[in-house]
């Protein structure tokens, strides 16, 4: 219950383009956090939280959507076909 067996989890294979893309998305999120903090400090203290939330999530949500879409777009087509074939053959054996 407390210890997971990692051998049962599916492995995520990433190519170099995907790794660089994830690094860029992570860097973008850090920049968005800094921008949101800077915008929120320019208002009186009672308006800090709403200003931060509006600013950060207005930038964060499109970044996450871009991240999910870009990650899928940069997938290797041959590796995806191999994974699908392996899954289909495993399902046939059962």
Interatomic CA distance for residues 30 and 13, integer angstroms: 25
- 77 within domain boundaries: yes
- 50 within domain boundaries: yes
- Supply the pTM of this predicted model: 0.69
For residue 36, the tally of other CB atoms under 10 A from its CB is 20
Q: What ranges in the chain are assigned the alpha helix state H? A: 16-41, 48-73, 77-93
Domain count across the chain = 1
Q: What is the mean pLDDT of residues 53-82?
A: 87
Domain interval for residue 53: 15-86
pLDDT class for 24, splitting at 50, 70, 90? Answer: very high
pLDDT tens digit sequence for 61-75: 999 999 999 999 988
For residue 40, the tally of other CB atoms under 10 A from its CB is 19
Taking a C-beta distance cutoff of 8 angstroms, is the pair 32, 60 a contact? yes
Which two structure tokens, joined as six digits, stand for 71?
């990650």
């Amino acid at each position: 219950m407390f210890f997971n067996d990692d051998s049962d989890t599916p492995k995520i294979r990433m190519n170099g383009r995907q790794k660089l893309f994830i690094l860029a998305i992570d860097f973008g999120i850090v920049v968005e956090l800094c921008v949101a903090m800077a915008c929120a400090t320019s208002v009186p203290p009672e308006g800090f939280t709403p200003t931060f939330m509006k600013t950060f999530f207005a930038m964060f949500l499109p970044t996450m959507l871009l991240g999910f879409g870009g990650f899928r777009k940069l997938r290797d087509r041959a590796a995806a076909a191999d994974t699908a074939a392996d899954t289909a053959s495993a399902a046939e054996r059962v």
